[in-house]
Protein backbone atom coordinates (compact mmCIF):
# COMPACT_ATOMS: atom_id res chain seq x y z
CA UNK A 1 0.00 0.00 0.00
CA UNK A 2 1.37 3.37 -0.97
CA UNK A 3 0.60 5.77 1.83
CA UNK A 4 1.46 9.42 1.26
CA UNK A 5 3.29 10.71 4.30
CA UNK A 6 2.49 14.32 5.04
CA UNK A 7 4.09 15.63 8.18
CA UNK A 8 2.72 19.20 8.09
CA UNK A 9 0.24 18.34 10.85
CA UNK A 10 3.17 18.17 13.26
CA UNK A 11 3.32 21.99 13.26
CA UNK A 12 -0.02 22.02 15.09
CA UNK A 13 1.60 20.01 17.87
CA UNK A 14 4.08 22.77 18.66
CA UNK A 15 1.95 24.52 21.36
CA UNK A 16 1.49 21.24 23.24
CA UNK A 17 5.18 20.53 22.80
CA UNK A 18 6.10 23.87 24.39
CA UNK A 19 3.68 23.39 27.31
CA UNK A 20 4.93 19.87 28.00
CA UNK A 21 8.53 21.06 27.76
CA UNK A 22 7.98 23.66 30.47
CA UNK A 23 5.69 21.58 32.67
CA UNK A 24 7.42 18.20 32.46
CA UNK A 25 10.63 17.95 30.46
CA UNK A 26 12.59 20.87 31.92
CA UNK A 27 11.66 20.06 35.56
CA UNK A 28 12.62 16.44 34.93
CA UNK A 29 15.99 17.53 33.52
CA UNK A 30 16.50 19.67 36.62
CA UNK A 31 15.81 16.66 38.82
CA UNK A 32 18.43 14.69 36.90
CA UNK A 33 20.91 17.52 37.47
CA UNK A 34 20.13 17.59 41.20
CA UNK A 35 20.47 13.82 41.50
CA UNK A 36 24.19 13.79 40.71
CA UNK A 37 25.18 16.68 42.99
CA UNK A 38 25.13 17.69 46.61
CA UNK A 39 23.46 21.09 46.67
CA UNK A 40 24.25 23.28 49.68
CA UNK A 41 22.88 26.53 48.32
CA UNK A 42 22.30 28.50 45.16
CA UNK A 43 25.97 28.68 44.21
CA UNK A 44 27.59 25.93 46.16
CA UNK A 45 27.29 22.46 44.68
CA UNK A 46 29.44 19.39 44.85
CA UNK A 47 29.60 16.65 42.22
CA UNK A 48 28.70 13.26 43.69
CA UNK A 49 28.13 11.16 40.56
CA UNK A 50 26.16 8.01 41.23
CA UNK A 51 26.60 8.10 45.00
CA UNK A 52 23.00 9.11 45.77
CA UNK A 53 21.67 6.37 43.52
CA UNK A 54 23.87 3.85 45.32
CA UNK A 55 22.59 5.00 48.70
CA UNK A 56 18.93 5.04 47.67
CA UNK A 57 19.03 1.64 45.96
CA UNK A 58 20.63 0.05 49.03
CA UNK A 59 18.44 1.72 51.63
CA UNK A 60 16.41 -1.04 53.36
CA UNK A 61 13.66 1.42 54.36
CA UNK A 62 13.11 2.47 50.76
CA UNK A 63 13.21 -1.12 49.53
CA UNK A 64 10.51 -1.98 52.07
CA UNK A 65 8.47 1.06 51.02
CA UNK A 66 8.74 -0.04 47.37
CA UNK A 67 7.50 -3.56 48.16
CA UNK A 68 4.63 -2.11 50.21
CA UNK A 69 3.78 0.19 47.32
CA UNK A 70 3.54 -2.68 44.83
CA UNK A 71 1.49 -4.77 47.28
CA UNK A 72 -0.90 -1.86 47.78
CA UNK A 73 -1.28 -1.02 44.08
CA UNK A 74 -1.94 -4.62 43.05
CA UNK A 75 -4.33 -5.20 45.96
CA UNK A 76 -6.51 -2.21 45.10
CA UNK A 77 -6.45 -3.04 41.36
CA UNK A 78 -7.51 -6.63 42.09
CA UNK A 79 -10.47 -5.34 44.10
CA UNK A 80 -11.47 -2.17 42.25
CA UNK A 81 -11.52 -3.43 38.65
CA UNK A 82 -13.89 -6.44 39.14
CA UNK A 83 -15.99 -4.49 41.63
CA UNK A 84 -16.24 -1.46 39.33
CA UNK A 85 -17.34 -3.62 36.38
CA UNK A 86 -19.89 -5.34 38.62
CA UNK A 87 -21.35 -2.03 39.78
CA UNK A 88 -21.51 -0.77 36.18
CA UNK A 89 -23.42 -3.90 35.14
CA UNK A 90 -25.92 -3.39 37.95
CA UNK A 91 -26.52 0.32 37.32
CA UNK A 92 -29.89 1.18 35.72
CA UNK A 93 -29.68 1.80 31.99
CA UNK A 94 -32.20 4.60 31.43
CA UNK A 95 -34.70 6.95 33.01
CA UNK A 96 -34.35 9.01 36.18
CA UNK A 97 -32.86 6.02 38.00
CA UNK A 98 -29.83 6.07 35.65
CA UNK A 99 -29.13 9.75 36.40
CA UNK A 100 -29.63 9.23 40.13
CA UNK A 101 -27.29 6.22 40.14
CA UNK A 102 -24.63 8.17 38.23
CA UNK A 103 -24.70 11.02 40.76
CA UNK A 104 -24.62 8.65 43.72
CA UNK A 105 -21.75 6.60 42.32
CA UNK A 106 -19.73 9.68 41.36
CA UNK A 107 -20.04 11.25 44.84
CA UNK A 108 -16.82 9.87 46.40
CA UNK A 109 -14.80 11.13 43.41
CA UNK A 110 -15.74 14.72 44.23
CA UNK A 111 -14.20 14.69 47.70
CA UNK A 112 -10.66 16.11 48.03
CA UNK A 113 -7.98 13.59 48.94
CA UNK A 114 -7.10 14.92 52.39
CA UNK A 115 -10.80 15.21 53.28
CA UNK A 116 -11.21 11.53 52.36
CA UNK A 117 -8.35 10.78 54.76
CA UNK A 118 -10.01 12.81 57.53
CA UNK A 119 -13.42 11.20 56.97
CA UNK A 120 -11.91 7.74 57.28
CA UNK A 121 -9.78 8.69 60.23
CA UNK A 122 -12.90 9.72 62.13
CA UNK A 123 -14.78 6.68 60.80
CA UNK A 124 -12.05 4.38 62.11
CA UNK A 125 -11.99 5.84 65.65
CA UNK A 126 -13.26 3.36 68.19
CA UNK A 127 -14.86 6.00 70.44
CA UNK A 128 -16.90 8.04 67.94
CA UNK A 129 -16.34 6.49 64.48
CA UNK A 130 -19.03 4.33 62.92
CA UNK A 131 -16.62 1.70 61.57
CA UNK A 132 -14.30 1.55 64.58
CA UNK A 133 -17.10 1.66 67.14
CA UNK A 134 -19.14 -1.02 65.35
CA UNK A 135 -16.17 -3.34 65.03
CA UNK A 136 -15.11 -2.98 68.65
CA UNK A 137 -18.66 -3.36 69.93
CA UNK A 138 -18.94 -6.77 68.25
CA UNK A 139 -15.70 -7.78 69.92
CA UNK A 140 -13.10 -7.16 67.17
CA UNK A 141 -9.85 -5.73 68.51
CA UNK A 142 -9.62 -2.92 65.95
CA UNK A 143 -7.03 -0.16 66.25
CA UNK A 144 -5.40 1.42 63.21
CA UNK A 145 -2.79 3.18 65.31
CA UNK A 146 -1.41 0.01 66.87
CA UNK A 147 -2.18 -2.85 64.50
CA UNK A 148 -0.60 -2.88 61.02
CA UNK A 149 -3.19 -5.29 59.59
CA UNK A 150 -6.01 -3.00 60.72
CA UNK A 151 -4.26 0.01 59.19
CA UNK A 152 -3.82 -1.83 55.87
CA UNK A 153 -7.41 -3.03 55.89
CA UNK A 154 -8.67 0.51 56.46
CA UNK A 155 -6.43 2.11 53.82
CA UNK A 156 -7.43 -0.44 51.18
CA UNK A 157 -11.11 -0.06 52.10
CA UNK A 158 -10.72 3.71 51.86
CA UNK A 159 -9.11 3.54 48.43
CA UNK A 160 -11.76 1.10 47.19
CA UNK A 161 -14.48 3.42 48.48
CA UNK A 162 -12.84 6.46 46.87
CA UNK A 163 -11.80 5.11 43.49
CA UNK A 164 -14.02 2.15 42.53
CA UNK A 165 -16.54 4.75 41.21
CA UNK A 166 -13.98 5.80 38.60
CA UNK A 167 -13.77 2.26 37.21
CA UNK A 168 -17.56 1.93 37.50
CA UNK A 169 -18.20 5.17 35.57
CA UNK A 170 -15.68 4.29 32.85
CA UNK A 171 -17.17 0.80 32.50
CA UNK A 172 -20.70 2.22 32.50
CA UNK A 173 -19.87 4.56 29.61
CA UNK A 174 -18.20 1.65 27.80
CA UNK A 175 -21.28 -0.54 28.29
CA UNK A 176 -23.61 2.19 27.00
CA UNK A 177 -21.52 2.43 23.81
CA UNK A 178 -22.21 -1.19 22.80
CA UNK A 179 -24.74 -1.21 19.91
CA UNK A 180 -27.97 -3.07 20.61
CA UNK A 181 -27.40 -5.34 17.59
CA UNK A 182 -24.87 -7.35 19.58
CA UNK A 183 -27.43 -8.10 22.28
CA UNK A 184 -30.04 -8.99 19.66
CA UNK A 185 -27.63 -11.44 18.04
CA UNK A 186 -26.89 -12.92 21.46
CA UNK A 187 -30.61 -13.37 22.13
CA UNK A 188 -31.06 -15.17 18.79
CA UNK A 189 -28.20 -17.50 19.77
CA UNK A 190 -29.82 -17.95 23.22
CA UNK A 191 -26.51 -16.93 24.77
CA UNK A 192 -26.35 -17.17 28.56
CA UNK A 193 -25.85 -14.07 30.71
CA UNK A 194 -22.25 -15.15 31.32
CA UNK A 195 -21.59 -15.66 27.58
CA UNK A 196 -22.95 -12.17 26.87
CA UNK A 197 -20.59 -10.74 29.46
CA UNK A 198 -17.58 -12.81 28.42
CA UNK A 199 -17.85 -12.46 24.63
CA UNK A 200 -19.63 -9.12 24.12
CA UNK A 201 -19.37 -6.83 27.12
CA UNK A 202 -15.88 -7.61 28.38
CA UNK A 203 -14.15 -7.33 24.94
CA UNK A 204 -15.99 -4.07 24.25
CA UNK A 205 -14.93 -2.76 27.66
CA UNK A 206 -11.24 -3.49 27.17
CA UNK A 207 -10.47 -0.01 25.82
CA UNK A 208 -11.92 1.87 28.78
CA UNK A 209 -10.45 -0.70 31.16
CA UNK A 210 -6.96 -0.03 29.77
CA UNK A 211 -7.41 3.62 30.71
CA UNK A 212 -8.97 2.70 34.05
CA UNK A 213 -6.22 0.28 35.05
CA UNK A 214 -3.48 2.70 33.95
CA UNK A 215 -5.02 5.64 35.82
CA UNK A 216 -5.59 3.61 38.96
CA UNK A 217 -2.12 2.08 38.86
CA UNK A 218 -0.34 5.41 38.44
CA UNK A 219 -2.56 7.18 40.96
CA UNK A 220 -2.25 4.46 43.59
CA UNK A 221 1.49 4.25 43.02
CA UNK A 222 1.74 7.96 43.85
CA UNK A 223 -0.76 7.87 46.75
CA UNK A 224 0.17 10.36 49.45
CA UNK A 225 -2.51 12.47 51.14
CA UNK A 226 -4.98 9.76 52.14
CA UNK A 227 -2.68 7.38 54.07
CA UNK A 228 -0.72 10.36 55.41
CA UNK A 229 -3.87 11.79 57.00
CA UNK A 230 -5.33 8.43 57.99
CA UNK A 231 -2.33 6.70 59.58
CA UNK A 232 0.62 9.06 59.09
CA UNK A 233 2.49 6.08 57.63
CA UNK A 234 2.21 4.10 60.84
CA UNK A 235 2.05 2.13 63.00
CA UNK A 236 5.83 2.23 62.76
CA UNK A 237 6.39 2.46 59.04
CA UNK A 238 3.94 -0.28 58.07
CA UNK A 239 1.88 2.00 55.80
CA UNK A 240 4.62 4.40 54.65
CA UNK A 241 4.35 4.36 50.88
CA UNK A 242 6.94 5.62 48.40
CA UNK A 243 5.77 9.20 48.01
CA UNK A 244 5.65 9.70 51.77
CA UNK A 245 9.18 8.35 52.15
CA UNK A 246 10.25 10.72 49.36
CA UNK A 247 8.50 13.75 50.85
CA UNK A 248 10.03 13.12 54.27
CA UNK A 249 13.44 13.15 52.66
CA UNK A 250 12.99 16.09 50.28
CA UNK A 251 10.92 18.44 52.43
CA UNK A 252 11.53 17.22 55.96
CA UNK A 253 15.27 16.69 55.78
CA UNK A 254 15.89 18.86 52.70
CA UNK A 255 18.19 16.22 51.16
CA UNK A 256 17.66 17.40 47.58
CA UNK A 257 20.29 15.13 46.00
CA UNK A 258 19.10 11.80 47.42
CA UNK A 259 15.46 12.84 46.96
CA UNK A 260 16.16 13.64 43.28
CA UNK A 261 17.91 10.31 42.73
CA UNK A 262 15.01 8.54 44.40
CA UNK A 263 12.51 10.47 42.22
CA UNK A 264 14.27 9.30 39.07
CA UNK A 265 14.12 5.66 40.22
CA UNK A 266 10.44 6.13 41.15
CA UNK A 267 9.72 7.69 37.75
CA UNK A 268 11.47 4.86 35.88
CA UNK A 269 9.44 2.23 37.75
CA UNK A 270 6.14 3.97 36.96
CA UNK A 271 7.16 4.44 33.33
CA UNK A 272 8.17 0.78 32.95
CA UNK A 273 5.08 -0.69 34.62
CA UNK A 274 2.71 1.61 32.72
CA UNK A 275 4.39 0.75 29.43
CA UNK A 276 4.17 -2.99 30.11
CA UNK A 277 0.46 -2.70 31.02
CA UNK A 278 -0.30 -0.60 27.97
CA UNK A 279 1.64 -2.77 25.51
CA UNK A 280 0.24 -6.02 26.91
CA UNK A 281 -3.37 -4.86 26.65
CA UNK A 282 -2.90 -3.19 23.25
CA UNK A 283 -1.31 -6.35 21.85
CA UNK A 284 -4.06 -8.54 23.24
CA UNK A 285 -6.50 -6.38 21.26
CA UNK A 286 -4.39 -6.54 18.12
CA UNK A 287 -4.26 -10.36 18.29
CA UNK A 288 -8.01 -10.46 18.74
CA UNK A 289 -8.72 -8.27 15.71
CA UNK A 290 -6.26 -10.34 13.68
CA UNK A 291 -8.22 -13.47 14.51
CA UNK A 292 -11.57 -12.01 13.48
Partner 1 sequence: MSWMHWTGPTAGFFISIALILTGMTVWQYFSPSVERKGFLPIATTRGDRLFIGLLTSAFIHLAYIGVTEFHVLVATAVSVVWMVILMRWG
- What is the length of the chain? 292
Q: 95 in the Ramachandran plot: left (φ > 0), alpha (ψ -120 to 50) or beta?
A: left
Sign of CA dihedral 231, 232, 235, 239: positive
Task: Name the one range near partner 1 by CB under 8 A: 119-127, 194-202, 242-250, 271-279.
Answer: 271-279
Residue among 13, 21, 24, 26 that touches partner 1 (CB under 8 A): 26
What is the C-alpha separation between 160 and 92, in angstroms, rounded? 21
5 binds partner 1 (CB under 8 A): yes
> What angle (nearest 5°) sits at the alpha carbon of residue 134, between those of residues 132 and 136?
65
> 118 or 274: whose CB is closer to partner 1?
274
Q: 112 in the Ramachandran plot: left (φ > 0), alpha (ψ -120 to 50) or beta?
A: beta
Q: What is the CA radius of gyration of the chain?
A: 24
What is the C-alpha separation between 224 and 115, in angstroms, rounded? 13
> 30 or 184: whose CB is closer to partner 1?
30
275 binds partner 1 (CB under 8 A): yes
272 binds partner 1 (CB under 8 A): yes
* Contact pattern for partner 1 over residues 45 through 74, marking x by CB under 8 A: x-x-xx--xx--xx----------------
Task: Name the one range near partner 1 by CB under 8 A: 66-74, 143-151, 246-254, 272-280.
Answer: 272-280
Residue among 20, 185, 195, 271 that touches partner 1 (CB under 8 A): 271
What is the C-alpha separation between 24 and 18, in angstroms, rounded? 10
Residue among 23, 268, 285, 288 that touches partner 1 (CB under 8 A): 268
3-state secondary structure of 38: strand
Site residues, partner 1 (CB under 8 A): 5, 7, 26, 29-30, 32-34, 36-37, 39, 42, 45, 47, 49-50, 53-54, 57-58, 265, 268, 271-272, 275, 279, 283
Amino acid sequence: MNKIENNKAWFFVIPVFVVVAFSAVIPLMTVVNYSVQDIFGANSTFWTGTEWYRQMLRDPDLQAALLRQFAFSFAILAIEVPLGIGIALLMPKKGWAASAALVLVAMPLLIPLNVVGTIWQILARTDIGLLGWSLSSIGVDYNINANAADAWFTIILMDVWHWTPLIALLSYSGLRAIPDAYYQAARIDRASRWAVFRYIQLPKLSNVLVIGVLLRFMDSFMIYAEPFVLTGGGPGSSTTFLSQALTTMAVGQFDLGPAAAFSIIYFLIILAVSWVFYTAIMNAQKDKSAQQ
